[in-house]
């Protein structure tokens, strides 16, 4: 299960390649724009994600938030040198306001969650779960939609 730990930049480059290769994410023109120790940011252009009202399509917003959470878990695993598959176990989404701008998603740990506990459980049991939250925001910070998700990692090596 353990592999060499990975630099954040290298891990992000690998995740960007995965993002480009997945047809649903390529269709919405999603891209990872950055990450730090606590969050991962993604974006997609409004023009590729319009609905019949001229606002962002809800499915695109959900996809971007869901994948931002998945990518954050995958990033943490890569940085820790852990080889595991990541799955979305369940999620709930709230659409708060119509979005008439490019899509900006950010994902982070839900309150009370810990990467250390997640990684320790994965090492001990070969599987672990973690709760994340994601949101669609405007550049000035207004939240347009949010997602609460439970992600599962299963060791594969």
- CATH code of the domain covering residue 149: 3.10.129.10
Q: How far from 131 is each of 57, 135, 138, CA to CA, in Å?
A: 25, 14, 23
Domain membership of residue 16 (yes or no) is: yes
Estimate the crossing angle of helix 58-80 against helix 8-21, to 10 degrees: 140
Note the pLDDT of residue 47: 97
In the chain the first and final C-alpha atoms are separated, in Å, by: 4
Q: What is the pLDDT of residue 27?
A: 95
2 occurs within a structural domain = no
- CA–CA dist 103, 44 (Å, integer): 5
pLDDT mean over 107-125: 97
Percent of the chain with pLDDT over 90: 85
148 closest CA partner among 88, 60, 97, 78: 88
Predicted pLDDT at 37: 80
What total of structural domains would you count in the chain? Answer: 1
Range of the domain at 22: 8-155
In the predicted structure, residue 155 carries a pLDDT above the cut 60 = yes
83 pLDDT more than 90: yes
2 pLDDT higher than 50: no
Residue 3 lies in a domain: no
Furthest-apart CA atoms within the chain: distance in Å: 49
Residue 1 — very low, low, confident or very high, per pLDDT cuts 50/70/90?
Answer: very low
Q: What gap in Å lies between CA 126 and CA 64, rounded to an integer?
A: 28
Region 84-92: what's the mean pLDDT?
97
Residue 103 lies in a domain: yes
- The pLDDT tens digits for 9-25 are 888 999 999 989 999 99
Beta-carbon neighbour count of residue 59 at 10 Å? 12
């Amino acid at each position: 299960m353990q592999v060499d730990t990975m630099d954040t930049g290298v891990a992000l480059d690998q995740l960007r390649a995965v993002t480009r290769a997945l047809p649903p994410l390529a269709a919405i023109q999603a891209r990872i724009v950055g990450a730090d120790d606590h969050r991962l940011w993604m974006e997609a252009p409004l023009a590729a994600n319009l609905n019949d009202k001229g606002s962002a399509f809800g499915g695109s917003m959900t996809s971007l938030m869901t994948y931002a959470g998945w990518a954050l878990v995958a990033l943490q695993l890569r940085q820790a040198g852990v080889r595991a598959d990541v799955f979305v176990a369940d999620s709930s989404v709230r659409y708060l306001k119509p979005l008439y701008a490019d899509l900006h998603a950010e994902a982070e740990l839900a309150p009370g969650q810990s990467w250390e506990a997640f990684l320790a459980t994965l090492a001990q049991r070969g599987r672990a779960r973690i709760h994340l939250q994601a949101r669609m925001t405007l550049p000035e910070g207004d939240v347009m939609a949010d997602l609460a998700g439970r992600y599962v990692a299963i060791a594969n090596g």
